Amino acid sequence: MLAEWTSKWIKVIDKFNDIVIDDFDYKKGIQGPITMKHCVKCIAINQCWFLDEEGKKPEEVNYGIEEIIKDTKNKIGLYHYNCHCKKIDIPKPKESDIKLIIPQGKIDWLFKDKSGWIKAMGHEPNNDFLEYLKNQIRTSYTLGKYYIMKIDNHGVAIGIQLIINGAREKSGKTYVLSSGWMVFSNGKLKSNTLIADWWKNEVV
C-alpha cells in the first residue's frame, strides 16, 4: 500500500490575546503597548494557519531534559518559556478559504517592473494574468508549497512557489517562480512581491 500523503495543518491560538497581525499598519508592523504583554513573534503568528512541517511553521522550542526538570517558576511553553500559544489541528484549507490581500501599488508594480518577465512567459501584463497568478498562489499555498523566510514585527514572511505555464509561443513550458507574502490571520495572505524571483534550488 502506498503511504498516504498527509498534510496536517495547524492554527496557532493565544487565548489571552485577541490582537492579530492584521490589526497593525502594514508599514510599521507590530508596535505599541501590546508588545509589553506579548512578544512580537506570538502576536505575529496568532490565529495564523501553517502546514505542520519544519520550515513551514514557526519554530518550536525543544526543551532538553535539564530544562524540563529544572526548578524554575517559568512554565514550559510552545515557543518560549511562559508562552501562551497553543496549536490546534485544522482541516486542510481549500483554495476558497484563502483570501488574498494585495495592497495598493503592488499590481502596478507587477505590470510595470515585471512586464518583461510576464511577456517572456508568453503572457500579457493584464487582469487575466493577475487572476491566473492569484489562482496559482492559492493552489500552491494550500498544497504547502511555501517556506518561511522570517518572522519579525511585520509578521511571518513566506515565499510561495508560483507555477506559471507558458502561453502562446511559450506554451508547453513551465516557469517556477517565487512570490512573497505575509501570513495573516485565518487564511489571509498579504502580498509583498507578486513575482519576486525564480524559485530557489529549482531549474526547469
85 near Zn ion, judged by CB under 5 A: yes
Q: Tell how many helices (H) and how many strands (E) occur in the chain.
A: 6, 8
**Least distance to Zn ion from the beta carbon of 77, Å?**
6
- The count of C-alpha atoms lying within 13 angstroms of the C-alpha of 191, restricted to the half-sphere facing its C-beta, is 24
Strand 9-13 to 49-51 pairing: antiparallel
Measured CA to CA, the distance from residue 132 to residue 109 in angstroms comes to: 17
Closer Cβ to Zn ion, 139 or 153, answer by number: 153
* Residues between 17 and 56 with contacts to Zn ion, criterion CB under 5 A: 39, 42
Candidates 21-29, 57-65, 75-83, 191-199 — which segment interacts with Zn ion by CB under 5 A? Answer: 75-83
**What is the secondary structure of 31-81 as a DSSP string?**
-STHHHHS-HHHHHHTT-EEESSTTSSPPPP---HHHHHS--SSPP-SSST
**At closest approach, how far in Å is the CB of 61 from Zn ion?**
10
Q: Whose Cβ is closer to Zn ion: residue 83's or residue 183's? A: 83
The site string for Zn ion over 96-135 (x = CB under 5 A, - otherwise) reads ----------------------------------------
Which CB atom, from 83 or from 182, has the smaller least distance to Zn ion? 83
Q: Are strands 86-90 and 99-101 parallel, antiparallel or unpaired?
A: unpaired
Shortest distance (Å) from residue 17 CB to Zn ion: 8
Within 10 angstroms of residue 11's Cβ, the number of other Cβ atoms is 19
User: Nearer Cβ to Zn ion, position 58 or 159?
Assistant: 58
For residue 134, give the H/E element and its range. helix 127-142
The single residue among 20, 83, 137, 164 that binds Zn ion, judged by CB under 5 A, is 83
Which residues contribute to the site for Zn ion (CB under 5 A)? Answer: 39, 42, 79, 83, 85
